[in-house]
Structure 1
Amino acid sequence: MKIEDWFHGLRGKAEKIEEKWPQATEQERLVMADQLFYLRQVSDRVVDLWLQFEEKLSQTIRQVKQMEGQVPDTEDQSDSAASAIHTLKKEMKKDEEKNDAPLDMKEQPLDFEHLFRRGEGFYHLRMFTDAKACFAELVAAAPDWETGRLYYAYSLLFCEEREFALREFRFLCKVASSPTIVAISYNAVGCMLAEEQQWLEAAQAFKVALETKPDQEDARFNLALCYYMDKDAQESVEEISKYLQEHEHDWEAQMLWLRAAHQLQGMDEAAELEPPGLLQLPTRELESETLKEMADLYEAVGNYHRAQICYRFLTERLPKEGWTWHGLAWNTWLIAGTRRAATLMKKAISLAPDQTDFLFSYGWMCLFDGEIDNSMNAFRKVLEKDSSNRLAQSGMIAAYEKSGEIQAAKQLAKTFLEDEVPFLHALGCFHLGRLSMIEENWILAEQYFSRAAPFGDQLREIPIYLQLCASKQGKTIAVDELLKT
């Protein structure tokens, strides 16, 4: 049977009940009332199943596009506040299960129930303009119907009438009697503020939502996201850890914890982090996005073995994605050297020949293994594709240095001094300082390293080189004093 025929049959049953009702006996009306109740259950179930299908379809499309390289990477997706903001559906569903009716509907006049049901149907089918019209009529006729007003506010929001939507949400925050309605409204206000990157104000709204209804799950997730976006890493980790206690399989929450932990680690290397639940060790059960975030965090703290495990799982799941093999190769190289990693890196390059970062990584691995010619060939291939690639140029300088071609290295390094980007200018000074050391020009080397010193956290050899230069000149100046010059 076609789905159109099935719906036509259901509609026909409703029409027959409508026709027979005026002349029906009391007993017949009881039977027809049971039939109407059954049809209502069918309708609610269809909407629920459609929503589940829509969510799965959207997720599958997103995953396929990601595998085909048609969407931005996970960092870009997660850092968009709008992409991570949870919606009304979870809380509404939860309250319907508790009360057998949506929130305050039991107390409302039956005369307007048809308007609510119709508007609710339009809303869940994402026909927001029609939903707005129904709920506008409902609010005008029954202004105290809080759930109807909440749906009206959301319909306004999704119709891009943000100012009116915000007004409705704020009104419900002040006057609604239902804690659930108040909490959902504050959560919605917070979401709207977050979309405007007003992180402090948004966080305050989410806090009030949680104070009103402590089990408002979406508000806790959104609060953790606000903290993360506002660089309050410790608070973000604490809030998302609480959320994961109840939702350990939520991959978005897993990713947020990992990113907040990574952010906290960057602020305080001594910070002690205890991963919650499934994040304690990488497993095949985790989503691809979560595994990638775990790998990034492990690399940041120097745990290359666990990062390697993450990428091993990713290569099994996404064998045609070059970035998974590149991550596996890079961490394998850090653990076991070029001989074990070279084949893996070549696999990554073969899958993504236009990805210059993979070529650079291969060249860098060869350079540290003493294969100067292979490293130069790799760097040259990168520069053929992008002649201004500073990463490849930096690799060439290091290769020239190792092969004894000091003048060629100096000539290329001096081009960095013309760069307007402060770090790249400092990198040029760093290279020239090393080359001056080879020539035993300790005074010039010290001058170059001093100019690069503001980036000592990224060029970590600088304090050692400054100390060596001072020693060669017979100085006893402390390193911290050298860095201030």
Structure 2
Amino acid sequence: MYHQQWLELVQQALSEIETQYAQSPVSEKPKWRNRFREIKKSCDQMLESWAVIAEQLAELMEKYPDLNEEEKEIEEEVWLHESAVRSFRQGQGYYGLTMFKEAKQLFEEVVEHEPDFLLGRIYLGLSQFHEGELHEAERHFQLVTNTASHDSFVGFAHHMLGCIAVKRGDDRKAIKQFSKVTSLLPDHEDAWFNLGACHFRLGEYHEAVPYFYHALSVNEDDWEAMYYLSHCYRHCQEWNSVSFWRLASYEKTHHPRILESIAHDYEEMGDHEQALEWYQRLLASDPKRTGAYHGMAWNLWALKRTDEAIMWLKKGLTLFRDDQPLLFAYVWMSMASGQMRKAVHALDLLPLEQVEQPMWLAMRSRLSSQQGDYQEASRLAEQLMEQEIPTLKAMGHYQKGRIFLEQKNVDEAIRHFKEARQLAKDWKDPLFFEGVCHLMNGCPDHTRSCWSEIVT
């Protein structure tokens, strides 16, 4: 009990140092360095005591083997000469404190003196994995898969090889490794979950679903598997299943991420009242969640409660002055409600390094157009058209088309709307305004053709 309390206190202190040190002024940094040294000294003393006790335990077991007769016979994978016990125990202690650099050094000593001690090699690979030394970690886990005789060791090594592949962004290779784990260890929950996660990242949502169900069959309280299931069904537009698994995961853990996802679901389904209710719950759970302020504003706007929507954006910007999505929504809503002065004032607050970002180029172009400054609006739209990313170029052409349309230059507007469609084929807005242009030109058949594509 005392050891657990001590461990929790140490972890809490280390987390505080990690959070505060980087942002502390120079005058306060010595305080955090002194605290870190004190913690490390305390850990070293604890680990030294631990190693002494471990040696005494080993001596007693050697002298009186029947003291430990309930345990299974020690196999070579976990056999360790008493000369290396101290380093191994100290390494385990550092690893438990997430001090992976120190742990790695001790496990390297263990493996050097006892190369056949596979548990030490696994701990070394794990420490290297956490330190980002993936190539070295991979070498050790591969060796374990080739030499271990027990399925538990082989399966764990394959699992870590899968985790390394995930770190490298190779989900296909990871799937092969995790599949080997489940064939050896059918009740390995993490392997089933990771198989689902790999397929999910690859966009293979139907393939991911049964793996998350397997994870739940091993652990019925796995809220993350439930959460991913809801995302899979969301991509398949199976809304009843989405709601079921969202709420199931919420019952297991009132995690803000789940609250936000449920709110998004109702928002996408057009149930703005329910979305508002869940965003309110999110704010009660996590008042510093910027997405909650944005969500409140957007759904109030959709319900035509304009003043309340803008009030929530102001409240969010008071707390998070530099949050770009909130500021963008505030400028957009101000423009849409005809409050141009507020929009201009908000844009004046934008930091210089952000003024030329594509999202703000589009916003500034639209604002200039609505103010009648078509020359400035065109200049900003042309900057977007020069971007390398097709969707950004499309946005530039779309904005250019809107400018020409407002100037009654219909033919030029049509040309730019068509170009926007070519660059972003799933974007419907250019189609709508192209249809408007054809209607102005007296070509209703062309208008019907454009607008029919919007609803298909």
State whether TM-score is above 0.5. yes
2:157 aligned to 181, 185, 205, which one? 185
Report the alpha carbon displacement of residue 474 of structure 1 after superposing the two structures with TM. Answer: 2.8
Give the number of the structure with larger relative contact order, counting CA–CA contacts within 8 Å between residues 6 or more apart. 1
Report the alpha carbon displacement of residue 173 of structure 1 after superposing the two structures with TM. Answer: 2.5
Equivalence map 1:78-477=2 (5 Å): 106-108=73-75, 112=80, 114=82, 118=86, 119-126=88-95, 127-139=103-115, 143=116, 147=119, 150-151=122-123, 153-154=125-126, 163=135, 165-244=137-216, 261=232, 265=235, 273-274=241-242, 277=245, 279-280=247-248, 285-295=253-263, 299=267, 304-320=272-288, 322-382=290-350, 386-402=354-370, 409-410=377-378, 412-456=380-424, 459-471=427-439, 472-474=441-443, 476-477=445-446
Give ranges in structure 1 of 5+ residues lacking alignment. Answer: 1-44, 69-99
Report the alpha carbon displacement of residue 272 of structure 1 after superposing the two structures with TM. Answer: 7.5
Instruction: Confirm or deny: 8 A CA contact 1:450 1:482 kept in the other structure.
Output: no
Give percent identity, aligned residues only. Answer: 21
Report the alpha carbon displacement of residue 298 of structure 1 after superposing the two structures with TM. Answer: 5.3
SS in 2 for 1:106: coil
In the alignment, the residues of structure 1 paired with residue 213 and residue 183 of structure 2 have an alpha-carbon distance, to the nearest angstrom, of 18
Instruction: Confirm or deny: 8 A CA contact 1:366 1:375 kept in the other structure.
Output: yes
Change (3 A) 1:150 1:412: closer
SS in 1 for 2:165: helix
Instruction: Confirm or deny: 8 A CA contact 1:150 1:169 kept in the other structure.
Output: yes
Report the alpha carbon displacement of residue 411 of structure 1 after superposing the two structures with TM. Answer: 5.0
Report the alpha carbon displacement of residue 47 of structure 1 after superposing the two structures with TM. Answer: 6.8
In the alignment, the residues of structure 2 paired with residue 111 and residue 284 of structure 1 have an alpha-carbon distance, to the nearest angstrom, of 40
Q: TM-score, normalised by structure 2?
A: 0.69
In the alignment, the residues of structure 1 paired with residue 358 and residue 141 of structure 2 have an alpha-carbon distance, to the nearest angstrom, of 51
Report the alpha carbon displacement of residue 450 of structure 1 after superposing the two structures with TM. Answer: 0.6
Would you say how many aligned residue pairs link Structure 1 and Structure 2? 396
Report the alpha carbon displacement of residue 398 of structure 1 after superposing the two structures with TM. Answer: 3.5
Q: TM-score, normalised by structure 1?
A: 0.66
Question: 2:293 is matched by which residue type in structure 1?
Answer: W
Change (3 A) 1:158 1:124: farther
SS in 1 for 2:355: coil
In the alignment, the residues of structure 2 paired with residue 123 and residue 243 of structure 1 have an alpha-carbon distance, to the nearest angstrom, of 29
RMSD: 4.3
Instruction: Confirm or deny: 8 A CA contact 2:181 2:188 kept in the other structure.
Output: yes
Report the alpha carbon displacement of residue 291 of structure 1 after superposing the two structures with TM. Answer: 3.3
Instruction: Confirm or deny: 8 A CA contact 1:429 1:449 kept in the other structure.
Output: yes
Change (3 A) 1:249 1:130: same
Report the alpha carbon displacement of residue 424 of structure 1 after superposing the two structures with TM. Answer: 2.8
Change (3 A) 1:460 1:283: farther
In the alignment, the residues of structure 1 paired with residue 334 and residue 150 of structure 2 have an alpha-carbon distance, to the nearest angstrom, of 66
Change (3 A) 1:224 1:373: same
Residue-by-residue CA offset, 1:95-148 (whole Å, 9 max, x unaligned): xxxxx99x9963348984746754245224322322342355344xxx4x6545
Question: 2:412 is matched by which residue type in structure 1?
Answer: L
SS in 2 for 1:107: coil
Change (3 A) 1:391 1:175: closer
Change (3 A) 1:242 1:155: same
In the alignment, the residues of structure 2 paired with residue 282 and residue 111 of structure 1 have an alpha-carbon distance, to the nearest angstrom, of 44
Report the alpha carbon displacement of residue 294 of structure 1 after superposing the two structures with TM. Answer: 4.6
In the alignment, the residues of structure 2 paired with residue 200 and residue 271 of structure 1 have an alpha-carbon distance, to the nearest angstrom, of 29
Change (3 A) 1:388 1:234: same
Instruction: Confirm or deny: 8 A CA contact 2:107 2:121 kept in the other structure.
Output: no
Give ranges in structure 2 of 5+ residues lacking alignment. Answer: 24-66, 96-102
Question: 1:222 is matched by which residue type in structure 2?
Answer: N
Equivalence map 1:64-75=2 (5 Å): none
Equivalence map 1:8-19=2 (5 Å): none
Question: 1:107 is matched by which residue type in structure 2?
Answer: I
Residue-by-residue CA offset, 1:166-193 (whole Å, 9 max, x unaligned): 3442343345332222211110111122
Question: 2:443 is matched by which residue type in structure 1?
Answer: G
Change (3 A) 1:481 1:250: closer
In the alignment, the residues of structure 2 paired with residue 305 and residue 473 of structure 1 have an alpha-carbon distance, to the nearest angstrom, of 42
Instruction: Confirm or deny: 8 A CA contact 1:261 1:273 kept in the other structure.
Output: no
Residue-by-residue CA offset, 1:363-399 (whole Å, 9 max, x unaligned): 2112222333333333344376743244344334444
Instruction: Confirm or deny: 8 A CA contact 2:187 2:218 kept in the other structure.
Output: no
